[in-house]
Amino acid sequence: MPGIVSGKVAIVTGGGRGIGRAIAEGLAAEGAKVVVCDIGASLAGVGIDEGPAQDTVAAIRRAGGEAIASTLSIVEPKNAETIVRTALEAFGRVDILINNAGILRDVIFHKMSHADWMDVIAVHLHGSFNMSRAVAGLFREQGSGAYVHMTSTSGLIGNFGQANYMAAKLGIMGLSRGIALDMQRFGVRSNCIAPFAFTRMIESIPAASEAERQRVERLSQMTPVKIAPLAVFLGSDAAAGISGQIFAVRNNEIFLFNQPRPIRVIHRSDGWTPQKLAEQLKPAFGPSFTPLERSGDVFAWDPI
């Protein structure tokens, strides 16, 4: 029986390890030809190693699938264009882009360096734009295409020591929404997934207290393969009509996130002054303020 993405060609960034590898293998198992992109850097974005991308390609081929590797950095726009050309030369088309590549530079904000900020933004946000833009013309011409971007509950909700990562991941949410709006007329879809999986990124989360250490231990039960089915589905024609949405996967749970909309309003016919706002804003809006929670505070129950 044909797989749900049979005949399609997918590009997966950060496909050498963790969630990216699970998605790449999941796409191949469902019939897609896959370009596995990964420079093989450390979690902090240091170094280059061709091994991870080649290992994923080898695993796909052993299972009977088709795949090629690229170790070009997606931070450079010209590299993104080269990756797309390579996919076209090897497989003739591109149908799915999985923007998964990322790095971490976790540090409390008052100690965060300019490099910590710029490097994280460069890989997550600029890299996602570079790859998305590189396939946009193809998607427009063929009247189809699916983007799946990895965001994070660290950005959607919050976490300590991750202002750079949070900004990048919320930026990706905006990027996805913008693509969905601009390209819907061409039959192109764009969605986000906030994945819960025990990867190198989760292992790096600071855990100062015993409760935090226990929570990280529970997170270790969630494997990257749990993320792949939703990513593969969103890349398939079966997901037609689903665009501009934000999902999360946590073990066997799949969540649909809401998106910012006005929830309260105050008005005065004579206009506002700072003094009037001091009198009325907090009493009116205070009960509806979003608390300063972290992802773990919101997802406080054990994974199912």
165: annotated active-site residue: yes
Residue 46 DSSP code: -
CA distances from 125 to 143, 186, 189, 192, 273 (A): 25, 23, 18, 13, 38
Q: Say if CB 180 and CB 243 are below 8 A apart.
A: yes
Residue 229 sits at the vertex; the CA angle it makes with 153 and 120, to the nearest 5 degrees, is: 35
- At what angle are helices 18-29 and 51-62 packed, to 10 degrees? 30
Residue 302 DSSP code: P
Sign, CA dihedral 80-26-2-64, equals positive
Beta-carbon contacts of 80 under 8 Å, excluding residues fewer than 6 positions away, are: 74, 127, 130, 131, 133, 134
Of 91, 129, 139, 165, the active-site residue reads 165
3-state class (DSSP) for residue 104: coil
Catalytic residues: 165
